[in-house]
Chain A
Amino acid sequence: MTTAIKTVGVAGSGTMGAGIAIVAARAGFKTIIYDVREEALSRARKQTEGFFAKSVERKKLTQPQVDKIIGDLTGTTRIAELAACDIVIEAVFEDLKVKHALLGELDKVCPAHTLFASNTSTLSITEIAAGSGRDERVVGMHFCLPAQLMKLVEMSPGIRTGDDAFRAAWEFCMALGQIPVRTKDNPGFILNYFLVPFNNDAIRLVEAGVAAPADIDRAVKSGLGYPMGPLELLDLVGLDTHLLVAEALYASTHEPRTAVPALVKRMIAAGHLGRKTGRGFYTYQGNAMFGG
């Protein structure tokens, strides 16, 4: 698939932003990753170098290929440097005001043809676009975590997104080597719209004493063939992260199944966030997982 896009900007160098930058640079695009925090850029750089070192180790890429990719990938704390970009993908905090502030600044520095894409997983593309100054050139491009390994991208036009802009973003996604799927501009798009309530329902089964976490996870894996049980997955993601995503989804939909069960807030208060604190629905010691 051909694309007119040559230079890619990624705004926000957290886990998602760094992953998206890896995808873009690996596909041969000049890539500029922007963050106001120098230390965040530094972390992203380390993450990127670590990822490509493993790519060489596993013989997915050669060292000269990696050298070229790394050479095409630059970091900056100066938003003005994104003026060179044909598309800027924002992966900043999931807050409409934060995204509006960023896109407003980008609108001032980027040329008129530059596409703005949002990696939001829960917010409305139309609402994000409304603060951009160029809502006809804003599209949703939700990469999955970790972006550098997952092929899927949920692509959504906002109400005012132009057909040409959406088509250009779609062609760019294909040129990245990703697999785009088209969804409506709907809270949670497809993945989170279905996953968050499913996980909440699993928490409610624990809360109601229907079954222990290990039994629920075993049932889902054995009965449905899912690679992970919902409670293992929640421990991996972190209950604090789940709370943020679910609250954003509930605020948009007011659907009862998206409301976070009370148990989540109690577990967070107790410091049981999942793997990162050593205890969630399971207890962890090193790589070992215990109990339910």
Chain B
Amino acid sequence: MKYQIIHAGESRSFADDHPLVAGAAESGEIAVVIGTMAGTVFTELVDRGRKLAILIELGTECLGAHTGESRGEEGSNVLGFARFRLGDADPSNLVELVRQPRTTEAALAAAKQVLEGAGLQVAVCADFAGRIIDRLVRPYYNAALRRLDEGLATADDLDTTLKLGLGYPEGPIALLERTGLSHHFHVTQALYEAYGDPAYAPARRAHVAKQRG
């Protein structure tokens, strides 16, 4: 299946040497718009209706911010996506693929084929802020940071417990220090603003990291 990559600024998902980018054609029935300005570039595409699928790289925003929404019946040949990546760490092999209620099954199948063809794992989700992983891990990271402050255990004991007890590859404190606490602040603050749920409110240590810049 032929697809084209449309660059729209720096992409958090794909560097130029990734197989998805390297395997793209000059043109194709699928367009993958990558970069921080993907949503803006998408609105300027003239042949949107003629594509089998258009994939827009998302940041923390919903796909509906670019496509519009109406009555819970929105959906077309346009999907959103983001390759999951924690802060400054390398991107994972996971792509969260965002659909709307009336997204066409043909567009969804084509998008999955292109992404999986480039060796990526795909998890399909509805168009909610935080998609899947951030919805799950940000409250967990905030709780871990709060509990560290409250002296539940030392950072090492917290990390050791969660690694040995649950088989996690890394404990939350070491992971956040490695990938950037200020990045965690930005993501969880966006979720807090989207949902108003205190579980997403950035923990004190994330605020401090943000203040230090």
Contacts and interface: CB of A to CB of B under 8 A. Distances in A.
Contact of B158 (A151, A190, A205, A256): A190
A77 B132 CA distance: 50
A226 B166 contact: yes
Contact of B124 (A215, A222, A228): A215
B109 interface: no
Given A198-B140, A216-B132, A224-B133, A191 B93 contact: no
Given A194-B143, A225-B169, A184 B153 contact: yes
B213 interface: no
B160 A222 contact: no
Contacts of B92: 222-225
A150 to B, nearest CB: 7
For the complex of A and B, list the 4 residue pairs with the smallest distance between their C-beta atoms, beginning with the closest: A219-B123, A223-B94, A222-B94, A222-B121
A224 B137 contact: yes
Contacts of A224: 92, 133, 137, 168-169
Contacts of B94: 218-219, 222-223
B126 interface: yes
Interface of B: 84, 92-94, 96, 121-126, 128, 131-133, 135-137, 139-140, 143-144, 147, 151-154, 157-158, 160-162, 164-170, 172, 199
28 contacts: A144-B164, A144-B165, A181-B161, A182-B153, A182-B154, A183-B153, A183-B161, A184-B153, A190-B152, A190-B153, A190-B165, A191-B165, A193-B152, A195-B166, A201-B136, A210-B131, A211-B126, A215-B123, A216-B132, A218-B122, A219-B84, A220-B136, A222-B84, A224-B92, A226-B166, A226-B167, A226-B168, A256-B199
Nearest to B132: A219
Given A194-B143, A220-B133, A257-B199, A215 B153 contact: no
Contacts of B172: 194
Interface in A128-146: 144
Given A150-B165, A186-B152, A225-B168, 9 more contacts: A181-B161, A182-B157, A186-B147, A201-B136, A209-B126, A218-B121, A219-B94, A219-B125, A257-B143
A181 B137 CA distance: 23
A197 interface: yes
Interface of A: 144, 150-152, 154, 179, 181-184, 186, 190-191, 193-195, 197-198, 201-202, 205, 208-212, 215-216, 218-220, 222-228, 230, 256-257
B152 A257 contact: no
A218 to B, nearest CB: 5
Instruction: Choose among A194, A220, A224 the residue with the greatest number of B CB atoms under 10 Å from its CB.
Output: A194
Given A205-B135, A222-B92, A223-B92, A212 B124 contact: yes
Contacts of A190: 147, 152-153, 157-158, 161-162, 165
B27 to A, nearest CB: 30
Contacts of B132: 205, 210-211, 215-216, 219-220, 223
Nearest to A256: B199
B199 A194 contact: no
B166 A191 contact: yes
A4 to B, nearest CB: 25
B113 to A, nearest CB: 16
Contacts of B165: 144, 150, 152, 154, 190-191
B166 to A, nearest CB: 6
Given A219-B133, A220-B133, A194 B121 contact: no
